[in-house]
Amino acid sequence: MPRRALRLPLRPAARPLRPARRPRANQGGGKGSAGKGSGGQGTAAGAGSNENGKAGKCRTDELKITATDSTITGDPDGTVAVQLKNTGGRDCAISGYAGVDLKTNAGALSAKRSGEQATSIVLKSGKSVAFGINYPLNTSGGSGVRITGLLVTPPNETKSVSLPWPGAGSLPVTNGSGSPVKVGPVGSAGQGG
């Protein structure tokens, strides 16, 4: 019997999304909405940033986006890790795949999704999450397709950020059978602080 008494307070906190159909007067969230002092009523649960205890989505303007070459010597493909750091001053939710376009001397080249399962992440203020871009290394000896930049659009956003390309300077020329560049889901390249 004591075990059931201990479990009861946990059950309402596990289902904070059901009452989300009410009109939302304050979607931006505010201080104290991270689940403190709900009085056991189950209305403010978890680490959210709005009145329903649910974090709002991460916006491009709230993310500091950087890219670094993460290629391991000896690997057949190159890897660039793209890090998204939450600088918005609130926790936010992010999941899925970012849009990734490589700027090249032959025009834009869109990366294909890797097909890995995407997970939903609540990105705490000041914390980072990353994803990887894999691309074939140009070992042909020819000039290949020169990469001049990187365009990243966070998941579920339309605003992009232009970055310098930190990886190898060119891709091998292909026969046009689709993009050789692949992008993993957010969270697939580890997390940092």
pLDDT digits (tens, 9 = 90+) for 15-39: 333 333 333 333 333 333 333 333 3
Q: CA 178 to CA 188: how far, in whole Å? A: 23
How many CA atoms, within 13 angstroms, populate the side-chain half-sphere of residue 129? 26
53 band by pLDDT with thresholds 50, 70 and 90: low
Q: What DSSP letter does each residue of 74-86 carry, written as one string?
A: T-SEEEEEEEEEE
Q: Which stretch of 70-74, 139-143, 149-153 has the lowest confidence by average pLDDT?
A: 139-143
Quick check: 149 and 103 in contact, CB under 8 A? yes
Q: CA 11 to CA 155: how far, in whole Å? A: 31
